[in-house]
Structure 1
Amino acid sequence: MTKIAFVTDSTAYLTPEKAEAFGITVVPLSVVFEGEVYREGVDISAADFYQRLTASKAFPTTSQPPVGEFVEVFTRLLETHDVVMCLLLSSKLSGTFESAQTAAQMVDGQVIVVDSRISSYGIAGPLLDGVQLAKAGGTPEEIQALWAKELDTMHAYFVVDTLEMLHRGGRIGGAAAVFGALLQIKPILTMRDGRIDLFEKVRTHKRAMERMLSEFDADARTGRRLKVGVVHAQRYNDAVALRDQLTSQYPNIETDISELGPVIGAHTGPGLLALVYYDAQD
């Protein structure tokens, strides 16, 4: 049986316990605050980051892992494995995928690098499915095919608490930010072609949540099996309540909870609540 090692980046937001349990190597991206570089999940926690984000006047920037870090990881893993499989943050959001591709060409051995075209649970869910398939004897080709099917059925809806971070990050204009704040606009974001995009603007948080849940209901009520990530930024209790609501309402879904860390949170800010889901293939 082919020995397969799995690699992802920190924007999959796997807990350290889950990464260890599944034998996944996580390469961190970094967030830069006022000239100081912090590796996500290593030098700064999500709680510390959001506290600094709301208190700081300076907008943080983010940076991808250097090619050399991927080279080191791939080289080390290939000493004990036949193949390294790498599922990473959308190439439209970061140069992480490109760094890993470059590194893969610099090492001796087979390294397969896949663009998830998404982040957070959209990476973590398929990644864990791939590990399970490998444990059951699946080949790298079968795992790639599984990922392709799951990523093609991926849906993501994000309810953002504030427009401020999107404005500060250059994603919307100043007038739109002020207008949205005055009218209590709550944007619903989605992923299109690997990029964060506006799905709809809704008045009030309640209506935004209702709209997101109506989109999810259209898919869940078909009865097909879905794997669902309830993703949040500093809204754990709300995420638990939403997970419990969905699992009691839809017997055909499998749910998990994921918290956004500094790199993606730098663009969304605290208060985000999202649903990321795909069709189960097993």
Structure 2
Amino acid sequence: MTGSRIAVVTDSTASLDPTDAEREGITVLPLKVVIGADTFTEGIDVTPEVIAEALREFVPVSTSRPTPEEFLAVYEQLAADGATSIVSVHLSAKMSGTFESAQLAAARAPVPVMCVDSTQVGIATGFAAGRAARSCAEGGSEADAVAAALGAGEASTVLMYVDTLEYLRRGGRIGSAAALIGSALAVKPLLTISDGAVVPLERVRTTGKALSRVVALAAEAAEAAPGDVEIGVQHLANAEAAEDVARRVAQTLGLEQVPVNEVGAVIGAHVGPGMVSVTVTPF
């Protein structure tokens, strides 16, 4: 493939640190957040803290995907900069129209664009994009990069604790019946991602027991992997709990540390304050 250069694109829900994205050569396209009557761009002019406060104050919050035109502009710029093809890795198509926008733009792009539905969200999508970028850096083809991203998404285990299912219900990311059951029983729900959708996993009576269960399940997923894993802990307005979960996961698995970061505004708008999640992705 002499003379070819494959560019990798993802979206801001992938939770990539800008420094990491730049180092890996990944272009990140931001989603939008609407708070009340004002529209903001994730990663540019809105923070997770602002989202958490708006949700607590019952200010209407919604999110919107990048338009096909915005994707096309990115693809055209990458082509102008020398990319001969593009692999575009995004959050689950069942959770957002972002993947659809990427596909519509790909049909008009000046170079071949292969769109990948990671079937995941958050840092699991980030891990998938990272695998694609590393495949390209190692001389892999577009097909190799796509396979690497798909494999990471399919193999990932995402375990999520939320204080309430209400925010996911409002955004249409979980069924009203499931949300009602959680509220009626006053339980702390544990969720996972299955086949690209957020689904209930278990119901636990207290926050402490729920977070302990997340630690145990994350350790089980890591220990069941055939080799090494990437692990990330995310939260919204719950740093202390997230740091404790990361410490306990690292201790259980004999790791030096597990990285912790706060989710972006878009994911935060759907999960609500208090969320803590662990993502485990085998290599």
TM above 0.5, one fold? yes
Matched, 1:45 2:47: yes
Distance change >3 Å, CA 275–CA 109, structure 1 → 2 = same
The sequence identity of aligned pairs, in percent, is 33
1:176-191 pair list within 5 angstroms: 177=180, 180-181=182-183, 184-191=186-193
Select between 179-188 and 92-101 the one with higher mean Cα deviation: 179-188
| 8 Å Cα contact 1:89/1:97 also seen in 2 | yes
| 8 Å Cα contact 2:157/2:221 also seen in 1 | no
Residue equivalent to 1:169 = 171
The 1-side partners of 2:256 and 2:200 are apart by 26
CA RMSD of aligned residues (A): 2.3
C-alpha displacement of 1:114: 0.3
Work out the number of aligned pairs and report it. 278
SS of equivalent residue, structure 1 residue 267: helix
Matched, 1:109 2:111: yes
| 8 Å Cα contact 1:228/1:253 also seen in 2 | no
The 2-side partners of 1:115 and 1:188 are apart by 24
SS of equivalent residue, structure 1 residue 221: helix
C-alpha displacement of 1:253: 9.4
| 8 Å Cα contact 2:235/2:277 also seen in 1 | yes
**Runs in 1 of length 4+ with deviation above 6 angstroms?**
none
Distance change >3 Å, CA 6–CA 58, structure 1 → 2 = same
The 2-side partners of 1:210 and 1:167 are apart by 25
C-alpha displacement of 1:129: 2.4
Residue equivalent to 1:278 = 281
Distance change >3 Å, CA 12–CA 176, structure 1 → 2 = closer
Residue equivalent to 1:67 = 68
Unaligned runs of 5+ in 1: none
SS of equivalent residue, structure 1 residue 196: strand
1:87-166 pair list within 5 angstroms: 87-166=89-168
- After superposition, the C-alpha distances for 1:163-219 in whole angstroms (9 at most, x for unaligned) are 332343354549955x74575411011112111111122111112122223322323
Matched, 1:239 2:247: no
Matched, 1:25 2:27: yes
C-alpha displacement of 1:252: 7.2
C-alpha displacement of 1:244: 2.6
Read off the aligned partner of 1:274 and give its amino acid letter.
Answer: S
- After superposition, the C-alpha distances for 1:208-240 in whole angstroms (9 at most, x for unaligned) are 122223322323334632211112112223323
Select between 137-146 and 115-124 the one with higher mean Cα deviation: 137-146
The 1-side partners of 2:119 and 2:256 are apart by 23
The 2-side partners of 1:143 and 1:256 are apart by 25
C-alpha displacement of 1:137: 1.7
Return the TM-score normalized by structure 1: 0.90
C-alpha displacement of 1:25: 1.3
Matched, 1:211 2:191: no
Read off the aligned partner of 1:199 and give its amino acid letter.
Answer: L
| 8 Å Cα contact 2:222/2:280 also seen in 1 | no
Distance change >3 Å, CA 277–CA 109, structure 1 → 2 = same
SS of equivalent residue, structure 1 residue 197: strand
C-alpha displacement of 1:162: 2.4
The 1-side partners of 2:86 and 2:171 are apart by 34
